[in-house]
Amino acid sequence: MKLFCILVLISMSSWAQSEYPQDYFRHPLDITTVLSGTFAELRPSHFHAGLDIKTQRKTGLKVYAAAEGYVSRIKVSHFGYGKALYITHPNGYTTVYAHLKKFSEPIERYVKSIQYDKESYEMQVFPKPEELLVSKDDVIGYSGNTGSSGAPHLHFEIRDNLERPINPMLFGITVKDSKPPLVKGLFAYPKNDTTTINGKNERVKLRLIPKGSGAFSAEKINAHGQVGFGIITNDQQNLAPNHNGVYQIETLYNGNKSLKVDFRRFSFSETNHIKRYIDYDYYKSKKKRIQKLFIEPNNPLNLFTYAFDNGYVRVEDSTASVYKIIVKDFNNNASVINVPIEGKKQPIPERKNENINEFLISENSTTTLEAGNATISFYPNTVYDDTFIDFRHSADTLFIHEDKVPLRKDFKITYDISNYDKDHRNYLFIAKLVGYYKYPVYQNTKRTEHTLSTQTDDFGMYTVKMDTVAPEIKPLNFKNKQWLSKYRYLKLKISDELSGISNYRATVNGKWILMEYDYKTDTLNHDFNDDMVTDTKNELKVIVTDNVGNSATFEAVFYRK
């Protein structure tokens, strides 16, 4: 332990002169690097924290320790990273390997001993430095598709000693890329009510004219006042069709630096503020992300390494100017957009009286709204700006504005359910109504004898639903009283149509057995190689519970030699 700490101090000192060591970390797979996701790529509610490395559309590829160190954290969960491994290295960095199918044999034994001890598939543990030492090139696991992964791949991260993710490409992990970033849309924004853009005081889409080799010009705009710009852009590498995130965006106004966005490192505490970085309204309506190249109030992102006048440009009357955007990928391929601007003072257009929203949510104080048996509480810093919202209700259904305004943190919805029959209250939950057909989706609901409450960071429609139907359990690969001696796995399908699965428990002859739950396929799987089933005659019992407490029990007998 003392030797390891000394190595950490020596290594951190030696690397201090070079910000990112280039030959320290190896690639975690032994195949050609093809990415489905890049670092800091824009995701629905966060910046992507690592590289998503394709695994040739299959699972089970060997995953190697990128450098020597010790396993400092193991987390197994149904969602998120699935099966994830964290290795802390002597140079102070931590590497993360997520969505694994399984761990290497010694780590797998270690994990399963904890799972059986806690009688839980989901677990998290922080081993001591001397418990699970690894060397560079050691196999630490096998690639998979666990957790919230949409297809087989390895999610790989490098974090500093403050747990901030850093672009792994900065450490010498490269990908073949000779293509300039794609530019799919350009927009101009007025900063305030006195700014005009082509005679309008609203977001204006600009026509792009490709010039070849990553060069674009935009149509000339007539503007006056303070103007910001936004861009829809992605990067596409040589070996994959995926449209990934870019590495850097820089803007200049008449040759002078205006703003720079650098996707090399961020903090998890700020990742939710992606909602402030993109045009959230446009994203919710068009499903496309405009990256705003200006900084609005209460935007704490450290991705902006330079910003003069918060990225806005001042356009004076009777002037000719050029606004330039340079978008780069990590390999320094660039796309350049030139926007000619003619300063022309124009009448301020009359604003349409569209503000029929009656309720003001204050940015810096608590706001409480009440309707029927519901109370909605907005605490300080819930919204980025003072915001008028539309708020209506019909019976237990609440319409809390359209989901097109970004929120900084959760607000709280509380229902008084005293008017419900006592026998029904335990079956109630709060649901968000989503999609065209307003399908109810379970919200994490806390309950007391007389109330239901939930917290959410999305506007939209919410209601109270009742679920009195127990989950369903069906065997997939066996029948009652069947011999399963040659079977590797015991498989069942579990489902719940309304409130969703909360937990499950399986026993054989009264003893708990480990079953892995894959919510994407609604399956439970037990691996007989765990050697926990040793009797010839075995009585299986599986209990599945939904989110309001309805439970179903499945029982069967099977035989093994």
Task: Write out pLDDT tens, residues 387-404.
Answer: 999 999 999 999 999 999
Helix, strand, coil percentages, rounded to 5, for the chain:
10, 45, 45
Task: Write out pLDDT tens, residues 124-169.
Answer: 999 999 999 999 999 999 999 999 999 999 999 999 999 999 999 9
Instruction: Please compute the mean of the pLDDT values over residues 288-304 and round it to a whole number.
Output: 97
Phi, psi of 108 (to 5 degrees): -60, -40
Instruction: Look at residue 1 and tell me whether its pLDDT is greater than 80.
Output: no
Segment holding 4, helix H or strand E: helix 2-15
pLDDT of 7 reads: 44
Task: Write out pLDDT tens, residues 417-471.
Answer: 999 999 999 999 999 999 999 999 999 999 999 999 999 999 999 999 999 999 9
Q: Can you name the residues that pair with 143 across neighbouring β-strands?
A: 100
Q: 2-171: which CATH architecture?
A: Distorted Sandwich (2.70)
Task: Report residue 356's pLDDT band, with 50, 70 and 90 as the boundaries.
Answer: low
In whole numbers, what is the pLDDT of the chain averaged over residues? 95
Q: How many residues does the chain have?
A: 561
Contact indicator for 410, 456 with CB cutoff of 8 Å: yes
Phi, psi of 42 (to 5 degrees): -75, 120
Q: Nearest-CA neighbor of 19 among 95, 92, 96?
A: 92
For residue 442, what are the contacts with CB-CB under 8 A and spacing of at least 6? 429, 431, 498, 499, 500, 547
Task: Write out pLDDT tens, residues 56-106.
Answer: 999 999 999 999 999 999 999 999 999 999 999 999 999 999 999 999 999
pLDDT of 5 reads: 45
Instruction: Look at residue 353 and tell me whether its pLDDT is greater than 80.
Output: no
**Is the CATH number 2.40.50.140 carried by domain 359-466?**
no
Instruction: Please compute the mean of the pLDDT values over residues 480-494 and round it to a whole number.
Output: 97
The 10 Å Cβ neighbour count of residue 182 is: 16
pLDDT of 351 reads: 72
Could you tell me which CATH number the domain at 472-559 has? 2.60.40.1220
C-alpha distance from residue 363 to each of 251, 367, 401, 556 (Å): 30, 9, 16, 57
Domain boundaries, the chain: 2-171, 182-343, 359-466, 472-559
